[in-house]
Amino acid sequence: MATRTWDAWNYRESAEVSSRGKDLTGFTVEAVDGSIGKVDRSTLDVGSSYVVVDTGPWIFGKKVMLPAGTIDRVDWNEEKVYVDRTKNQIKDSPELDEAGTYESDPAYRDRLGTYYGGTYDRGVL
């Protein structure tokens, strides 16, 4: 089986997001160990895609930004997004500011990509 390097800012083929070109806003987000909230915003930008998840009461109403590469698959019928990270890995990620200005901040995106890249086994899938 061939390995490939984890790509933080592009959706995996298994998610079928890029090929469908559909917005994920409103979809429920499932970590490997349970639900973490709903997609508040999503992008389809090649090389810089991500979702912002409203975690509700789970982590005190905070929003978290997940690089597109963390999305393993999408159940389009059930409107669920499955990420291959745990709740704690997501909770411990670099914090997204209240105003959402970090979304376009290259330094924040670098920190986020490095953080999530480090949660994979040497960055290889």
Question: Can you list the domains of the chain with their CATH numbers?
Answer: 13-118 (2.30.30.240)
pLDDT tens for each residue of 11-22 = 999 899 988 888
Q: Is 28 a residue whose pLDDT tops 90?
A: yes
Residue 27's closest CA among 67, 54, 57?
54
Q: Is the pLDDT of residue 33 over 50?
A: yes
Measured in whole angstroms, the distance separating CA 78 from the mean position of its chain's CA atoms is 18
What is residue 122's predicted lDDT score, i.e. its pLDDT?
Answer: 47
CA 46 → CA 16, 43, 90, distances in Å?
Answer: 14, 9, 23
Sign of CA dihedral 41, 21, 111, 31: positive
pTM of this structure: 0.87
Question: What Rg, from alpha-carbon coordinates, does the chain have?
Answer: 13
**Mean pLDDT, the chain, whole residue set:** 87
| 8 Å CB contact between 94 and 109 | no
pLDDT interval class at 125 (50, 70, 90): very low
Distance CA(68)–CA(100), nearest Å, equals: 17
Per residue in 48-102, pLDDT (tens digit) is 999 999 998 767 778 899 999 999 999 999 999 999 999 999 988 988 887 767 7
Is 33 within 8 Å of 87 (Cβ atoms)? yes
pLDDT > 60? residue 2: no
pLDDT value at 29 more than 50: yes
| CA atoms within a 13 Å half-sphere pointing along the CA-CB vector of 49 | 21
Compute the C-alpha angle 8/24/91, nearest 5°. 55
Taking residues 16-36, what's their average pLDDT? 92
- Of the chain, the percentage scoring pLDDT greater than 90 comes to 54
